A and B are shown apart, each in its own frame.
Chain A
Amino acid sequence: MLSTEAIYFVIFTTGLAVGFGHCIGMCGPIVVSLSLSLKGRSVIVPHLLYNGGRITTYGLLGGVMGATGSYTRVVAGIASLQKGVMILAGVLIVVMGLAMAGWIPLGEIFGDYCNPQGVLSRGFRKLSEARSAVTYYPLGMLLGLLPCGPVYTALLAAARAGMEAQSTLEGFLIGVGLMLSFGLGTVVALLLIAKLADLGWLKRRDVIYKISSAIMIIVGVYFIVKAIRY
C-alpha cells in the first residue's frame, strides 16, 4: 500500500499525464473558447481563475467522497447534474462562437427576446464580454462538474482513502487534498492550451476568429449531442 505522501504525488503526476492526453480532448475546446473570447487580452489571469474554480469543485467532490467513503452512491447522485452541466457547456461554447464572430450579437439574443435583467441573459453577456476576469472562477467551478473519466478515477482514489480514514473529517480532508493534487496536475496542460489559443501574435486574426467560431459551434453542438446520449 502506498503512503499518504506517495498517493498525493502519484495522483498529482496522474493529473499531469492525463492533462496532456485526456483533458486536452475534453476541456480543450472550452479552454480554447475562453481564450478566443478574450480577443487578445491577457489569458493568464482568467485561465488561472477558471482552473482555480475547476480545482475547487474537484476538491469539494473529493471531500464528499472522502467523508462518505462511498463512490458509486455519490456519483449516482450527481449524474443528472453532470449531464446538465455538459449541455450547458455545449450551449456556452456555441453562444461564445456565435458572439465571437459577431454573427449573432448577444444583445439581440438575450436583450430583445428575453428579459435583459434575467439571470441567464446577464450571465451569458458577462461571460461573453468577459469584462471581469472574476467571472472565470464560478465558470470553472461549474465546468468542474463535467463528466470525465480520469476525474472519476481520481475520485475513486479519494473514496478509497476515505474508507481507510479514522474519522469523517480526516476522510474529508484527505479527499480534498487528493483531488486538489490531481487538479493541480491538470492545470499545466490546460494553461498551455490557453496560451496556444491566444492568437494575439497572429496577423490575420479576423479570419482565424471566423474559422475558430465555426469550429466552436461544431464542438458545442457535439458536446450537447454527447450530453443527451450520456
Chain B
Amino acid sequence: MKSNVKVHLFAAILALLMLAVCPTSSSGRSEPPRVECDVHAGPCRAQISGTRVSLDIEPKPVKAMHDLTFAVTFAGEKPVATPYIDLGMPGMNMGRNRVILKPAGELVYRGEGVIVRCPSGRRTWKAKVTVPGVGSVEFIFDVIY
C-alpha cells in the first residue's frame, strides 16, 4: 500500500516536471516573425506590421558579458509607442533580460544591455524588438564568448 503511494507520487512529480520542461510553443499564441542575421557585419533588418525596422548592436564584434548599446531605427513613421528589446536564447528560458530603449533622435531609440554567457557553449541569441500595441520581431544572431 505504502509503496503504491510512493509510485503514484513519483509519477505525479515526473508528470509535473515534464509539463514544466516541455516547450510551450504550442500554446496557441502567434509567434513573431524571426529574422536570422549577422549582427557583427552591420544592422539587422526586418518589418513590424509593415514598418521597416533595423537593430544595431555596438561595439562590434558583439561579445557576451560586455556592456552593449542597442539601437533600433524605424524607417518612415515614428512608432506609436516606445519600443523595447527582450534578450534571450531560442528554446531556452534564461530569465527576463529587457533592454529599455529611449528616444535618441526622430526615429532612433537606444538602450544599454548585456547579453549573458551560457555555460552550455551555445552562442545563438535572439533580440525580440517589440513596439507595444503594434507587434514584434525576433532577430536571431550569434555572439562571441
Interface residues of A (CB under 8 A from B): 1, 10-11, 14, 17-18, 20-22, 24-26, 71-72, 75-76, 86, 146-150, 152-154, 156-157, 182, 189, 192-193, 195-196, 201, 226, 229-230
Partner of A72, one of B14, B21, B114, B120: B114
Which residues in B have their C-beta under 8 angstroms from that of A150? 93-95
Which residues in B have their C-beta under 8 angstroms from that of A192? 13, 16-17
A11 CA to B98 CA in the complex, in Å? 13
Which residues in A have their C-beta under 8 angstroms from that of B114? 71-72, 156
Interface residues of B (CB under 8 A from A): 3, 6-7, 10, 13-14, 16-17, 20-21, 65-67, 89, 92-97, 100, 114, 116-121
A192 CA to B15 CA in the complex, in Å? 12
A21 engages B116 (CB within 8 Å): no
A84 to chain B minimum Cβ distance, whole angstroms, is 14
B62 to chain A minimum Cβ distance, whole angstroms, is 14
Which residues in A have their C-beta under 8 angstroms from that of B96? 10, 14, 153, 157
In the complex, which of the residues A10, A76, A153 has the most CB atoms of chain B within 10 Å of its own CB atom?
A153
A18 CA to B118 CA in the complex, in Å? 13
Which residues in B have their C-beta under 8 angstroms from that of A149? 89, 92, 94-95, 116-120
Partner of B92, one of A21, A71, A72, A230: A21
A-B residue pairs, 8 tightest by C-beta? A20-B20, A152-B116, A153-B95, A149-B118, A150-B95, A14-B95, A147-B119, A201-B6
B17 engages A20 (CB within 8 Å): yes
